[in-house]
Amino acid sequence: MTTITPLIAGNWKMNGLKQSLSEISELAQLLTTGEAPRALVCICPPATLLHAVAEQGASSGILAGGQDCHTANAGAHTGDISVSMLADAGAQYVIVGHSERRADHGESDDMVRAKAEAAIGAGLKPIVCVGESEAQRDAGQAVSVVAAQLAASLPDAAGQHSVVVAYEPIWAIGTGRTPNSADIAEIHDAIRAQLVERFGETGATIQILYGGSLKPQNAREILAIENVNGGLVGGASLLAKDFYTIISAV
């Protein structure tokens, strides 16, 4: 059986000022004084804090990631951030295709795939997000919607480079609601089967994260589900204590 090191990634979204770096110090302290974590730990802060998080987290093994990237490496794209800038700031990961970007910025699967390709090209690991809406789940389309998104959002290069997949049902993000364990297992098993079919052995090693209202209270149950290889955590990653509790649940 393939052993996959889990990843717990925090997505701070558009939250965090310089003073929030105290949460990184606290998390670093918890990680270095408590039991050694059984997961890789990554924080994806806003771009303004990326360099500081990467520097401050390095000694305690906290990795840093961006929340989005452009497909181009440089140029006339006001307000955007390139993969080489993220790497230069110390990022090792970048989230692509988060449902908030798909909704707020009209990002298509093609664009998400191009961003993932750009990330791989810069030596970053893309965390490629997929997930169904509530209406799609209610219509019994969750598995097929996620399969179609995954097929179109994941580049072929995922067969030779490190990538991460995050299943995030849109209706669970920031709502306090989650699918039940059987529903999470159904999607994660389907994603795993699709990855193995497309990428062979490599597909069996790709981390599949669950995201959507993952909290200290439900982390143990959700992270124990087969083919759940960690989590993408929004709200509960903002406080070091909560995030550490989730990491410790692995």
Nearest to 94 by CA among 149, 48, 45, 156: 45
Q: Could you tell me how many residues make up the chain? A: 250
Interface with ligand PEP includes 212 (CB under 6 A)? yes
Candidates 65, 203, 211, 230; binder of ligand PEP (CB under 6 A) is 211
By CB under 6 A, the residues from 143 to 202 that bind ligand PEP are: 168, 173-174
Candidates 16, 66, 155, 234; binder of ligand PEP (CB under 6 A) is 234
Distance separating alpha carbons of residues 250 and 246, to the nearest angstrom: 7
Candidates 50, 214, 228, 249; binder of ligand PEP (CB under 6 A) is 214
Nearest to 207 by CA among 15, 21, 39, 91: 39
Residue closer to ligand PEP, measured from CB, 37 or 234: 234
Candidates 40, 116, 232, 250; binder of ligand PEP (CB under 6 A) is 232
Q: Are 9 and 44 in contact (CB under 8 A)?
A: yes
Which two three-digit tokens encode residue 29?
A: 């302290």
Interface with ligand PEP includes 123 (CB under 6 A)? no
Which two three-digit tokens encode residue 8?
A: 């717990």
Within 10 A of 89 (CB to CB), how many other CB atoms are there? Answer: 18
Interface with ligand PEP includes 248 (CB under 6 A)? no
Which two three-digit tokens encode residue 179?
A: 């699918």
Residue closer to ligand PEP, measured from CB, 14 or 36: 14
Is 161 in the active site? no
Q: Which of 23, 98, 100, 132 is catalytic?
A: 98
Is 51 in the active site? no
First-to-last alpha carbon distance for the chain, in angstroms, is: 18
Active-site residues: which are they?
98, 168
- For ligand PEP, the binding residues (CB under 6 A) are 11, 168, 173-174, 211-214, 232-236
